[in-house]
Amino acid sequence: MATAMMSLLEVLKGASEFLGKQGVESPRLNAEHLLAHVLGLKRMDLYLQFDRPLGESERAPLRDLIRKRGTGIPLQHLLGTVEFCGRTFKSDSRALIPRPETEQLVERALTYTNLSSPTSSILDVATGSGIIPLTLAFERPEASVTATDISPEALSLARENAVLLGVDRISFHEADLIPESLNASFDLITANLPYIPSAEIPILSREVQNDPLLALDGGTDGLDLIRRLALLAYERLSPGGHLLLEIGIDQSEEVMKCLAGHNYRDIVALPDYQGIPRFIEAVKQ
């Protein structure tokens, strides 16, 4: 990029062209997000300022971000935030970048009528950045909410998100799935566990490779943790309580079979917006 004064639109075009050449998907959108971040504007406000001249002091930090994005560093890590169910959460390399599909898991959980009683309790296993329990805590203020993750780094991010959003009623635990020390029983257990088969990790996109390995690797067929949780969760659900899982493509049949083997009832696969069976719901007898 040259040092002479350039208009915002010229800068935007140059940045998106560069990102496109680097193989970044939706290069213009990425460039807009990064430019808005540098200028402290909302992305849509850029459209009202296309003729605004941008000097070197604004272009230099953008150049740095665009260069990093071109190497595959995810947009959310560069912005430091991600939107989830209408709220802004911190996002960085400590935990998986929340995926849009997971909003549907939360929406499904919010249809369960038993979560509105003051004695209801929710457990989110493998909480990552904490998006699931924090959103549920907002939407179901009567419920007690607990979250676990085996990664201290992910939990530190989840706790920071709780502070950022002003939620102080979630109990976070560093643990393998559900620790014995949690002696409560739960009306809902949610989990978006690592479900990628180990052999597929090296062929994931550059962006996904930036997620912690611990957040991705589900063992040989991707289902190691889901199988373990299916058993543990049955023991920790209240009668009539729901287990709600997010799973990978082509895993629904195997997961449903596993849950049936542990005596769950009303086992259903629910599609995401692309029609892929992405969530499994089951009820404890």
The binding site for ligand SAM (CB under 6 A) comprises: 95-96, 98, 102, 126-129, 131-132, 148-151, 154, 176-177, 192-194, 214-215, 225
Taking only Cα atoms into account, the Rg of the chain, rounded to an integer number of angstroms, comes to 21
Residue nearest ligand SAM, Cβ-based: 128
Strands (E), the chain: 6-7, 53-54, 81-84, 87-90, 121-125, 144-149, 170-174, 186-191, 237-246, 265-271, 277-283
The nearest distance, CB 102 to ligand SAM, in angstroms, is: 4
The nearest distance, CB 275 to ligand SAM, in angstroms, is: 20
The nearest distance, CB 11 to ligand SAM, in angstroms, is: 33
CA distance 175 to 180: 9
Closer CB to ligand SAM, residue 8 or residue 237?
237
**b/e 56-92 (16+ beta carbons within 10 angstroms → b):** eebbeebbebbeebbeebbbbbbbeebebbeeebbbb
Closer CB to ligand SAM, residue 18 or residue 195?
195
The nearest distance, CB 132 to ligand SAM, in angstroms, is: 5
Structure tokens at 147: 């979250």
CA dihedral over 241, 246, 251, 253, signed as positive or negative? positive
The nearest distance, CB 4 to ligand SAM, in angstroms, is: 44
CA distance 168 to 231: 30
Closer CB to ligand SAM, residue 123 or residue 193?
193
Decide: 221 and 250 in contact? Cβ < 8 Å: no
Closer CB to ligand SAM, residue 10 or residue 224?
224
Closer CB to ligand SAM, residue 32 or residue 281?
281
Decide: 162 and 96 in contact? Cβ < 8 Å: no
Closer CB to ligand SAM, residue 70 or residue 133?
133
The nearest distance, CB 156 to ligand SAM, in angstroms, is: 11
